[in-house]
Structure formats: C-alpha cells, structure tokens
Amino acid sequence: MIPETTLDQTAAWKTLANHADDIRHQHMRDWFAQDPDRAGKFTLDACGITLDFSKNLINDEVMTALFDLAKQESVEAKRDAMFDGAIVNHTEQRAVLHTALRNFSGAPVKVDGKDVMPDIRQTQAKMRQFSEAFHNKELKGYTGKIITQVVAIGIGGSFLGPKIMSEALKPCWIKDVDVHFVANVDGCHLHDVLSELDHEETLIIMSSKSFSTQETLRNTLTAKEWFFTQGGEQKDIAKHFIAISSNVKAATEFGIDEKNIFPMWDWVGGRYSLWSAIGLPIALRIGFDNYEAMLKGAYEMDCHFKTAPLNQNLPVIMALLGIWYVNFHHAQSHVLLPYYHYLRGFPAYVQQLDMESNGKRVAGDDTVVGYATGPVIWGSEGTNGQHSFHQLIHQGNVLIPADFMLPLNVPNQHAEHHAMLASNCFGQTQALMQGKTFQACFDDLASQGLDDKTRTALATHKTMPGNKPSNTLLFEQLDPQTLGALVALYEHKVFVQGAIWGVNSFDQWGVELGKVLGNQVLDKIENTEATLDFDSSTNQLISRFRAANPT
C-alpha cells in the first residue's frame, strides 16, 4: 500500500485544528466591535494592490499558527529553489521559470548551468519588432493589403492568459486592429470568427507550447483550409501564419516558416505562459510597451514575494487563508468576484491556474495525500452575481471564501455607476461578515402587524448567519502594471499552497489521460468499421454518434 502523507499529523497542523475548534463559536462582528483597529491590523499594500483581509475567521493566534505551518513546510526555501531554476517540477524533470521571463534585475538565471536570459531577451526583442511592425501597418498580406486582423488559436494556458488579459486591458487597445481568440475544437467558434474576416488582411497565430494539442492543430488546419479556399496558396502561408511553440521542429514540419516561429521553453508551464511569446497576442492588442509594463508589474510582485517577511507577504497570506478554509473549515470552493467589467474573465483565468496546478493527490515524496488540496475556483463579475449565486454564499450551508476585487478608478468612469459598483462590493463584504441576527430580523417585522408565530417564522428565514470570510483587493486602477502584479500574486498564492500541501503544482497528468482517451475515441469515431471494445456506456455513445453522422 502507498503510504499517506503525514502533513496532517504535524505539530503545526494540529495547532491549527485546535484553533479552528476554539473559534468555531466566535463571530467576526464581535471581533470588529472589540477591536476598532482590526481593519488596519489586517490590511497590507504592495505593488499597487491593497489587501484587506480583516473580514476573515482569523485572530493573531491563528495567523501565527498559519505562519508556523509555512515555516514548518519550508515555503521560503521552496520558493527560492523555484526562482533559482531548480528542478521543481520533478515528475517532468523541469525547472519552473516563468519568473525569468519577467526578470528585470539584470542578473542571470541558470538552467543546467546555462543563463536563459539572453534567449528570453532575444525573443522579447522579436516580439517587440513584430508588434511594432503590425501597429505601424508594415505587416502586409500576400496581396499587399495591410494586416489588421489577428486570429490567435490556442487552448488552456495558450489561450486563457492572452484572451483574458487582453480583455482586462481594453482601455489600452490599439485602434484599427482586432485580435480574435479561438480555443474550442467546436467548429462553430472558428467558423463564426473566420466568416467575418478578409483572409488578405488576416494573420493566424498558432499558440501551442507542445505543438501537439488536438484542438489547436485541428483549428489551425481548418484555418489553413479556409485560407486556401479564399484564394491563398501554400507560398503565401509565410505572410499569414505564425507559430509560438517550444517544439520548433513540429511547427516547421507543419509548414510554418522558421522565421515565423516564436520560441518558448519547456521550463515555462502552460498555465504560466502568458509571460512568454504566448503573450504576443496581448502585445498586438495593447502595444508592446503596455505588455512590458505587465511584465514589470509581475516582476515587482516577484520581488515582493521573495523579500517580504511571511507576515507581510501578500501571496503567502492569501495562500494560508485558503489553506485555513480548505483544510480546517471544510471549504470546497473559492469564489472570485471582480467588480470591474473588463476583469470579468479573471475567475476563469485563475480557475486553470489554481485547479490545474493544485488539483493533485500525491505529494513530492510519492505519498498519497489524505487531506483536501486545491478548491474549486469559480466566480464572475459583480454586481451580476449578487442577483444570482450570492444567495448561496450568504445563507447556504457550505462555506465559500470570497475574493472581492475593485479598481478605485476606472477609465471612462461614470461617477454614479462607479459609486454604486463600489458600494455593492463593500456592502457585500459587510453583509457576509456581519450577517443579520434573528433579533434584528424579528424587530424589523414589528410594524407589519403579524402574529408572533408568523413573525418568528419569517425572521428565521431572514436570519443571515454572517461570519462568512472574504478578502477585498483594491487597486488605484487596473493598468497593465497592476494587472501583471495581480496575476503574479495569484500564481505565487497557488505556489505557496502547493508547497504546503506537498504536491507538484506544475504537472497535469489527469489532463494528459483525458487527451489520450479522447484520441482513442476519435479513432473509433472516424474508423466506423472498428470494433467498439470500450465499456458499454462509451460504446453506446459512439454508436449513437456514428448513426447520426454516417460517412
């Protein structure tokens, strides 16, 4: 039998379990009443981000015990190993160096004794040159028309970062050009995008680190077929197709001109790849200077993460709070609530980052983990969610910690709208924290002429337990630099949690199995004579599909 990880037998873990028992019947609203300085004590600023974590189920003792857990699990040493290029991703024998892509220190970063910074700078210079040529209208298609439309094809990390960050920085968009994103292999999406475009003005970017992802290969092939049916020929491909990949050989074999390939490296994880050439569509959308500002914001957060003491370290604190709820309060999910329309995709971005990284069950010492690891990450923009799923967060019987996010200023600000947005954001955190007592609900019903029984029943329904935890993250405004810092904040939060749970946050074997089985099923669908030898359910589904799609 494979032995179980012993983290949950350790002293720090047991201390936290005791604290959880101690505070189970205490209420945050009493803590706020008792300590007028609670907000000040539990608020930190770094890299343009303010984190108010005072509305959490914590006191000084809990925080001390959480920091002790981080120390016990050598979080700082593990962090330094990652930044230094150690083989942190041990199941794939890879370093994890997305931080090198935004390293503005001038210092070398070595993998196997070789400094990776010169290659990074060379690729970034190529990205700058390419985006400037695009914005200066120097990129021309095979008929001499100026390229103004970009279709970026990729999936997972080769899609979410570029799309969601481009969307978040809409106020920085360069005019007269457009960047479209396609991920799903569902042909409807690609069809919708391509059918609106003039192939003579269109550039296709194929973004795939491995250059072997089924969806991306299929979508790019279809885009190529579309290009040919519109009048383009093989010799014209070089002016309309580029690739971003660590597999330069496969990209060249696919027909992409070698000078049109932007390299990346195996030490950049897919879900951390927006800092590599995978970020090119962002630079095309907002300009290279703005893209570089994002990198600088992320670098600032890296410096903060590396140097701030644990008790003043934003990613560490957010990670520890997450562990506090997952492992000691049975929270199974974590909701992200950006109160900013342009940041509406951020929950989906963090969903991949967090769930693909920490959705794991085996620790680094090959033991099976017996405690919960990464939570379900979900959410959407405020205030929309208030009229939908917030009800469950307020009164449901499951604990759902929340991260509220709000820029204090937004471009094109309509003062009345922004004040309402902010008041809803703050009001929600307040309602979740303080709730509403039965007595307050009962008193409110005094004027309605109800008999006592009805009044009691109604007050019971209206009672809000409160004591629901939330963080509030404020930004002066969500400019490229602050967005970079925000993304890096969540990356490091996920890293710290993985370091404590002991899992490898940088592989994704579960996803790989899905890819393999998907290909096996595709074989049976395409080869209609093939015997169906899977389980009876899968066989039945394939049969029905074959019947509905005769060849």
Sites of contact with ligand F6P (CB under 6 A): 155-158, 208-210, 213, 216, 270-271, 356, 508, 511
Nearest to 372 by CA among 264, 503, 494: 503
- Pick 156 or 322: Cβ nearer ligand F6P: 156
- Pick 270 or 385: Cβ nearer ligand F6P: 270
Q: In whole angstroms, how close is the CB of 179 to ligand F6P at the nearest point?
A: 18
Shortest Cβ contact with ligand F6P: which residue?
Answer: 270
Q: In whole angstroms, how close is the CB of 254 to ligand F6P at the nearest point?
A: 13
DSSP calls for 188-201: HHHHHHHTTS-GGG
How far is the C-alpha of 490 from the C-alpha of 498, rounded, in Å?
Answer: 12
- Pick 216 or 428: Cβ nearer ligand F6P: 216
The residues, any chain, with a CB within 8 Å of residue 25's CB and separated by 6 or more, are none
DSSP calls for 462-513: H-B-----EEEEEES---HHHHHHHHHHHHHHHHHHHHHHTB-TT--HHHHH
Active-site residue identified among 73, 215, 300, 356: 356
How far is the C-alpha of 457 from the C-alpha of 452, rounded, in Å?
Answer: 8
Q: In whole angstroms, how close is the CB of 217 to ligand F6P at the nearest point?
A: 9
How far is the C-alpha of 442 from the C-alpha of 457, rounded, in Å?
Answer: 9
Q: In whole angstroms, how close is the CB of 544 to ligand F6P at the nearest point?
A: 27
| Known catalytic residue at 387 | yes
User: Contact at 8 Å (CB) between 157 and 354?
Assistant: no
- Pick 199 or 224: Cβ nearer ligand F6P: 224
Helix (H) or strand (E) holding 82: helix 75-83
Burial of 241 (0-12, 13-18, 19+ CB in 10 A): buried
Virtual torsion, Cα 70, 76, 82, 86, nearest 10 deg: -110
Q: In whole angstroms, how close is the CB of 440 to ligand F6P at the nearest point?
A: 48
The letter for the amino acid at 446 is A
Helix (H) or strand (E) holding 151: strand 149-153
| Known catalytic residue at 304 | no
The letter for the amino acid at 541 is L
Q: In whole angstroms, how close is the CB of 270 to ligand F6P at the nearest point?
A: 3
**Scanning the structure block, which residue is given the tokens 């979080």?**
75
- Pick 154 or 469: Cβ nearer ligand F6P: 154
Q: Backbone phi, then psi, for 506, in 5-degree steps?
A: -115, 5
Measured in Å, how far apart are the chain's first and last C-alpha atoms? Answer: 49
The residues, any chain, with a CB within 8 Å of residue 92's CB and separated by 6 or more, are 266, 506, 507
- Pick 163 or 271: Cβ nearer ligand F6P: 271
- Pick 11 or 511: Cβ nearer ligand F6P: 511
Q: In whole angstroms, how close is the CB of 151 to ligand F6P at the nearest point?
A: 16
Nearest to 466 by CA among 373, 383, 407, 395: 395
How far is the C-alpha of 305 from the C-alpha of 75, rounded, in Å?
Answer: 11
User: Contact at 8 Å (CB) between 364 and 502?
Assistant: yes
- Pick 70 or 155: Cβ nearer ligand F6P: 155
Q: In whole angstroms, how close is the CB of 515 to ligand F6P at the nearest point?
A: 7
Active-site residue identified among 387, 416, 461, 529: 387
Per-residue tokens: 92: 């794939």
| Known catalytic residue at 356 | yes
The letter for the amino acid at 60 is D
Task: Give the catalytic positions in this structure.
Answer: 356, 387, 515
